[in-house]
Amino acid sequence: MDEDGPQACAVLYATEAADVTEAGAGAGAGAAGGPVLYFVTAATTRHGRALAEPGVLGEQGARAESRTRVAFTAQRDGQEWSALTGIQGRGRCRPLSGAERAVGWRAYTRRFPFVEADERLRAALERTTLWELRPDWLRLIDNGQGFGHKEEWRRPEGT
């Protein structure tokens, strides 16, 4: 969301469980783990600028980490409503750099090997911001188990 209101944007993403041992302290969600999504988008786009906004003020008025609150959905295209399966979620998003970016980039290129295979595309995306999205709430919608079937997950506090 920005000064003009909410906006949604489709992105290709890679996902994996967080692991603090791979990128060092601070990366990953701790012992409890949890999903992490990685995606590429330029910080100069409207949604990229909105994602890059500084964190909100905490309870004591202190500036929180620069992690923007986001909402998202993910589902396969072309599904019939009676078998529709997808995820709704909310979480925090931030740009990655250094060792954390390297971890995210490996996950992204494992999911999309064509990025590494195309030198021009790889070079362009390497110059673009890689973002990490850590969901703290997920809702699975699975109409295949019955119309409106839902299951929810929340990230444990402190992870």
Asked if residue 54 is part of any domain, the answer here is: yes
Q: How many domains does the chain have?
A: 1
Higher per-residue pLDDT: 146 or 58: 146
Asked if residue 74 is part of any domain, the answer here is: yes
CA distance 116 to 135: 27
The predicted pLDDT at position 139 comes to 96
Condensed to tens digits (0 to 9), the pLDDT of residues 11-65 reads: 999 998 755 444 433 344 433 468 999 999 998 999 888 888 754 333 333 334 4
Asked if residue 4 is part of any domain, the answer here is: no
Asked if residue 55 is part of any domain, the answer here is: yes
Asked if residue 58 is part of any domain, the answer here is: yes
Asked if residue 159 is part of any domain, the answer here is: no
pTM, two decimal places? 0.78
Question: Where residue 78 sits, what CATH number does that domain have?
Answer: 2.30.110
Asked if residue 49 is part of any domain, the answer here is: yes
Asked if residue 84 is part of any domain, the answer here is: yes
Q: What is the 3-state secondary structure (H, E, C) of the chain?
A: CECCECCCCCCCEEEEECCHHHHCCCCCCCCCCCEEEEEECCCCCHHHHHHCCCCCECCCCCECCCCEEEEEEEECCCCCHHHCEEEEEEEEEEECCHHHHHHHHHHHHHHCHHHHHCHHHHHHHHCCCEEEEEEEEEEEEEHHHCCCCEEEEECCCCC
- Domain extent, residue 89, equals 13-154
